[in-house]
Structure 1
């Protein structure tokens, strides 16, 4: 099947072009400027960006990946797909070993069905002092045998592990992850600058939600933020919801890391797409008020109610980045983190036709995944 989308503002890695693109058998075959060579589906001048790639999401639409319920997890994936996220990684939170094993097995099924793109273990190997919305009694020191069991339960679909590099045995587990082709992400950590560098040298290549759940920048004790921003091997995650990080600090990070090393994420939990109220996040209880999620006990920020389309729009409108840079941070850079940038993440000939159509206000008007409309413009 072939379709041409015409009269569009097409955002490619090279710029924004008024033109068209043709899709055949789920892939982009032609991209052109100006008038399309044949009649197609006219988009009325609306903007087309690559489908968003979210490498850190816990839930949405009332459902939560850590619950381990396959029907709920499928609904979460469908909700985020409707918001333009065509590639989604399911993030778990700290839990008992058997709970994590069961959840990983369930999510592996959804990976094999093509509904999600992988599994992320956020914990349990994180610092108690920076645990945030993780149950502190379930935190534990990194264990190589346990990690191997979790990877086995994921049946080849484990994509990422968040770990605090200062913990005992952490560097060994980071090396094990890297050897398995699993991204080791540093976060929920009280590491020093030097300990962070040790984690990077061991193979860590992502910063889990930079700034959040780690020491602040200091001019004498720079801490993990400086190490993560300065090292060219590291991609930094940023939550751009107006709550987690001030726009000035987003600009600081984006200027330091550049669009090629910045990945927008949602860190969304069950309340994304829902109203205020009380929601679960693994074993924890979260209260959402005015769209801000906080632990019912203690008040720590507990994930977000963000979706990737809002993160993209805020990056352009509030942070002042170009459409090209915002698309890179929301799509191509996170796709590269997952090793999927050869198939997704940009509007490029040969890649899957994962596309988001945006109106003049950068709201989602249509979503296409692998050449099929899931939300018709």
Structure 2
């Protein structure tokens, strides 16, 4: 079956052009300029960007990935798909090894079905001083053998492990994870500048939600932020929800790392898409007030209620990114980090037809995944 989308402003890494594209068997077969050569589905001049890729997401619509419940996980995926996220990694939080293994095994089934692009262990191998919304009583020192067991539980679908590089055993664990094809991400860390560099040398390539849950930049003790921003081997995650990070610091990160090393994430939790109230994030109770999630006990920020379309829109309207750069940080860069850039992340011939149609105000008007409409534009 062939479908042509016409009268569109298509956003590619090369720029924005008025044109059309053709989709066959779920893949993009042509990307053209000007008028389409055949009648198609007219988009009325609206923008088309690649489907968003969220590599750090804990849930939504009441479903929590750390709970490991398939039905709730499917509800979370469906919510984020409606907001334009067509590729998503399920992030877990600190818990007992048994519960983490069971959640990973359950979520692996959704990876087998193609609903999820992998599993992320955010904890338990993180700093007690920077644990944020993680239960400090469940934190552990990493060992390659123990982490290998968690990776095995995910049946080949574990994509990422967040680790505090200063912990005993961290560097050997980072080396093991990298050798197994699992992304080692430095975060929830109290490490010095030099210790962070050692983690990067060991094979870490991602900064888990840069700025959050790590020491602030200091002119005599630069800490992890400077090391992660400066090193060309590292991609930095950013939460652009107006709560986690001041826009000036988001702009600084984008300017230093550039769109090729910057990945927007949501860090969203089960409350996303729902009203204020009390929710669970793993074993921790979270209260949401005014859309902002904080631990009931202690008040630490506990993830977000962000969706990727909002993060994309804020990046253009508040940070001043161009549409191609915004598409890169929301789609292509995270796709590259996940090893999926040959399949998703940009609008190009041969790639999956994962697309988001946006209004002039950059509101979602339609979403397509693998050539099928999730929300068809009118």
TM range (shorter): over 0.9
Measured in 2, the distance between the counterparts of 1:278 and 1:10 equals: 41
TM-score (norm 2): 0.99
**Structure 1: gaps of 5 or more residues:** none
Per-residue deviation, 1:343 = 0.5
Counterpart of 2:298 in structure 1 is 298
Counterpart secondary structure, 2:245: coil
Task: Determine the C-alpha separation between the residues in 1 that align with 2:75 and 2:274.
Answer: 13
| Residue number in structure 2 paired with 1:31 | 31
**How big is each residue's C-alpha offset from its partner over 1:132-157, in whole Å with a ceiling of 9 and x where there is no partner?**
00000000100222111100010000
- Equivalence for 1:150: 150
Paired residues for 1:73-112 under 5 Å: 73-112=73-112
1:197 pairs with 2:197: yes
Moved >6 Å (runs of 4+): none
The alpha carbon displacement at 1:247 in A equals 0.5
* CA distance in 1 between partners of 2:197 and 2:58 (Å): 28
Q: What is the deviation of 1:246?
A: 0.5
Provide the rounded CA distance (Å) in 2 between the counterparts of 1:287 and 1:102. Answer: 26
Counterpart position of 1:343? 343
Q: Quote the RMSD (CA, aligned, Å).
A: 0.4
Partner Cα separation in structure 1 for residue 236 and residue 38 of structure 2: 42
Quick one: distance in 2 between partners of 1:251 and 1:330? 15
Aligned residue runs from structure 1 range 209-220, under 5 A: 209-220=209-220
Whole-Å separation in 2 of the counterparts to 1:102 and 1:358: 38
- Note the residue ranges of structure 2 that are not aligned, 5 or more in a row: none
Match of 2:280 in 1: 280
- Please give the secondary structure, in 1, of the residue aligned with 2:327: helix
Aligned ranges 1:107-122 → 2 under 5 Å:
107-122=107-122
Residue 368 (structure 1) aligns with: 368
**2:61 paired with 1:61:** yes
Residues 68-115 of structure 1: CA distance to partner in whole angstroms, max 9, x if unpaired? 111101111111111100000000000000000000000000000111
Alignment of 1:152-301 (within 5 A): 152-301=152-301
SS in 2 for 1:254: helix
Is 1:328 the counterpart of 2:328 in the alignment?
A: yes
SS of the residue corresponding to residue 212 of structure 2 reads: coil
Q: Which residue of 1 aligns with 2:16?
A: 16
Give the superposition deviation at 1:35: 0.5
TM-score by length of 1: 1.00
Q: Secondary structure at the match of 1:103?
A: helix
Specify the SS of the correspondent of 2:29.
strand
Rounded Cα–Cα distance in structure 2 between residues aligned with 1:236 and 1:180: 21
Aligned residues: 377
* CA displacement at 1:307 relative to structure 2: 0.2
Q: State the 1:63 CA deviation.
A: 1.1
Residue of structure 2 equivalent to 1:7: 7
